[in-house]
Amino acid sequence: MTEAGGTGGREVIPLFPLETPLFPGVVLPLHVFEPRYRRLVADLTALPDGAQRRFGVVAIRQGWEVEHVAPAEALYDVGCTAALRMVAPQRDGGYRVAAVGADRFRLLDVLVPTPGAGDDEAGEPPYLRALVEWLAEEEAAEEAAGDVDGLAGAGTTAGVVPDDVASDVARASLGLLADNVRDLFARYVADVAVRQSGAPDGLPDEVLDALSPDDLPDDDAAGEVAATAALLREVSDDARGLSYLVASSALLTTEDRQALLAESATRRRLALESRLLRRELTLLRALGAVPVPLRQFATPMTAN
Residue 10 has pLDDT above 80, yes or no: yes
Distance CA 161, CA 191 (A): 43
Name all contacts of 115-118 with Cβ < 8 Å and 24+ positions apart: 118/35, 118/36, 118/39
Distance CA 187, CA 282 (A): 12
Residue 203 has pLDDT above 50, yes or no: no
Q: Summarize the confidence of residues 188-209 as an average pLDDT.
A: 57
Q: What digits encode the pLDDT tens for the residues 68-121?
A: 556 667 899 999 999 999 999 999 989 999 999 999 999 999 988 887 766 666
Predicted confidence at residue 107, as pLDDT, reads 93
Read off the pTM: 0.76
Q: What digits encode the pLDDT tens for the residues 110-164?
A: 988 887 766 666 678 899 999 999 998 876 544 444 444 444 444 445 455 455 5
> Is 144 buried (19+), middle (13-18) or exposed (0-12) by CB count in 10 A?
middle
Query: What does the H/E/C string look like for 196-213?
Result: HHCCCCCCCCCCHHHHCH
CATH architecture of 10-136: Roll (2.30)
Distance CA 137, CA 264 (A): 5
Closest alpha carbon to 55 in 65, 71, 42: 42
Name which residue leads in pLDDT, 206 or 188. Answer: 188
Predicted confidence at residue 42, as pLDDT, reads 94
What is the pLDDT confidence band of residue 202, given thresholds at 50, 70 and 90? Answer: very low
Q: How many CB atoms lie within 10 A of CB 14?
A: 21
Residue 302 has pLDDT above 90, yes or no: no
> Is 92 buried (19+), middle (13-18) or exposed (0-12) by CB count in 10 A?
exposed
- Mean pLDDT, the chain, integer: 76
Name which residue leads in pLDDT, 165 or 230. Answer: 230
Structural domain boundaries of the chain? 10-136, 163-297
Mutual angle of helices 266-287 and 239-249, in 10-degree steps: 40
| Number of alpha carbons in the 13 Å side-chain half-sphere of residue 284 | 25
> Is 105 buried (19+), middle (13-18) or exposed (0-12) by CB count in 10 A?
buried
Residue 246 has pLDDT above 80, yes or no: yes
Range of 4-13, 200-209, 271-280 with top mean pLDDT: 271-280
Q: What digits encode the pLDDT tens for the residues 48-65?
A: 988 899 999 999 986 545
- Identify residue 231 by its one-letter amino acid code: L
Predicted confidence at residue 29, as pLDDT, reads 94
Q: Summarize the confidence of residues 26-52 as an average pLDDT.
A: 93
Residue 32 has pLDDT above 90, yes or no: yes
Q: What digits encode the pLDDT tens for the residues 13-23?
A: 999 999 899 99
Distance CA 195, CA 55 (A): 38
Residue 179 has pLDDT above 80, yes or no: yes
Percent pLDDT > 70 in the chain is: 62
